[in-house]
Chains A and B, each alone.
Chain A
Amino acid sequence: MERRTTYNRALEISKDVCIGCSHCIKVCPTEALRVFGGKAGIHADWCIDCGECYRVCPTRAIGVIDDDFKQIFNYKNRVLLVPSVFFAQFEDSIPRKVIYDIIGELGFTEVCAVEQSVDTLISEINDYIHDAEKPVISSFCPAVIRLIQVRFPSLVDNIMKLLPPIEITAQYYKKRYEREGVPESEYGIFYLTPCIGKIAAVKSPVGGYTSPINGVINMDFFFNKVYLAYKQNTPITKSIKINGAISSKGVLYPTTGGESRHIKGKSLAIDGMKNVIDFLEKLENEEIKDVDFLEIRACDESCAGGILSYRNRFLTTRSLRDYASQMPDTHHLIHDYKYYCSAIVHMDKIEPRSMVKYDRDITIAIEKMESARRLKRLLPGIDCGACGAPSCEALAEDVVRGQAQVNACIFLRTVLEKMGEISLEEAIEIMENIWGSERFKNDK
């Protein structure tokens, strides 16, 4: 089941570490996970890199496919684009200067705020929504874009065709180096990410775009490195150039409402995967009218609740608010950004990613769906997950697709046993196939 596809995926499951607890299969918004042979597996075409499974995995078996940190040393100039939530991971008493110095000591030559570009982006969005199909859905959250591509394909045209802040800031750096005559081989632009979706978004961006970002660094990994150096009082021997220009808008942009409150017209901010899905369902049914702009983020409390965050999301949000209150409304690089931005900020239309459930031929698909419906009526409807699928409906679909046996259902199997159709030994074997034979040993 686990295989590479055209869609770059940032998540992988370590079979050695996975205990087949099945927590992940229940939280996946596209039902892309199953347990078989005692291990979880991902249906790669359906994965949207939201990281909900990563969040609930008790053994850290779900890993992030990020870039090797050492690759930063392939470049003479090494810029790290740092999101404002990163600084909010630390206790408020640690001065920012100390964190910058440690980032320099770890190998970067320059550090820059990701959200430096938002002031310019906000004015671009306000121009954009003027003529665009309403409601405009923000392109900020990559997990939401992928969710729409897979589960709400009719809404892809509503996604704003403007780049997210990280790409604009990265483009600014690229342009700046070009202007200074630095050859491409001598600078590396790296992004410190609070979420998994952004890794996949940088590696395989949507909207006919290629990212200038050379590597993505996992914030969870990097936080540990920085915090350890802080705790151990690692001596600072290197210097780092600090491009800290950011406005209060920039600091708060990754928090819930950080985007929508600056957009003219009627806007809404929605966060948390369940809320997002409920809302998109209604939007797709055209039950929601009279909204111009939608800020939609997959994580509860937006990026403060990012999958790769260490600190409690509410404390992170409070830190960001406190910091924003000390920051000015604007910063000195806005004119530079304005100069570059209008040329690069636009992207092409985003294509839907169809999630073929049964068959590409509708007539065959209808037949298969009918079979799945009949089958579903036989299943208990309690979505226990003992078959390795997230719901009875998902099992019925898997059976029709030839990817599971109907006797994987523990209820049906009990009936079959009672009728003498299968033996106890066969029943145990089926259970072992799904959950692994190890699990059935008493002395494990």
Chain B
Amino acid sequence: MQFEYKVEGGDFTMAGVASSQVKKTLKQLGVDSSVIKRVVVALYEAEVNIVAHAYRGVIYVDIEGDGIKLKLVDEGPGIPDVPLAMTKGFSTASPSVREMGFGAGMGLPNISENADFFSIETQVGQGTTLQIEINFT
């Protein structure tokens, strides 16, 4: 079962809509709540990353009987140094973003910790694609 959500850069009031929708779907499917929690944490972080850093993006969600696959494709500045961005506590978020409670760092490591499979492809000046997979059992 597939879903698609568009995300606009800079629109924090809408950040979290995709994760809320996915959460609702997984609950209705009766997926274990600890698994849902991991999906939501990972997806929410990734969704907010697009809002905070990219110009726009699309979230592709594919739910099968054994798990969920998430693909987040954004058009944005890309990540110049992926290992650095994967370091806990590292953040490039602007002060105004931090004032809103976002951008405390830990985004990517937190996503990776909650995922069974995680990959990141990025091209500076073009954008970033994240792939996250979480198994149901």
Contacts and interface: CB of A to CB of B under 8 A. Distances in A.
Interface in A16-44: none
Contacts of A365: 28-30
A289 B63 CA distance: 28
A358 B41 contact: no
Interface string A289-309: 100000000000000000000
A286 interface: yes
Given A154-B34, A366-B63, A285 B29 contact: no
Contact of B28 (A154, A287, A358): A358
A370 B1 contact: yes
Interface in B1-36: 1, 16, 19-20, 23, 25, 27-31, 33-34, 36
A2 interface: no
A354 B37 CA distance: 15
A363 interface: yes
Contacts, number: 59
B60 interface: no
Q: Which of under 10, 10 to 19, 20 to 34, or 35 or more describes the interface residues of A?
A: 20 to 34
Interface string A350-363: 00101111111011
Contacts of B83: none
Contacts of A205: none
Interface string B31-68: 10110110011001000000000000000000111000
B1 A369 contact: yes
B23 A284 contact: yes
Contact of A286 (B25, B30, B40): B40
A133 interface: no
Contacts of B16: 282, 285, 287
A429 interface: no
A362 B33 contact: no
A285 B20 contact: yes
Which 9 residue pairs spanning A and B have beta carbons closest together? A363-B65, A154-B33, A357-B28, A153-B33, A365-B29, A154-B37, A362-B65, A366-B1, A370-B1
Interface of A: 151, 153-154, 156, 281-282, 284-287, 289, 352, 354-360, 362-363, 365-366, 369-370, 373
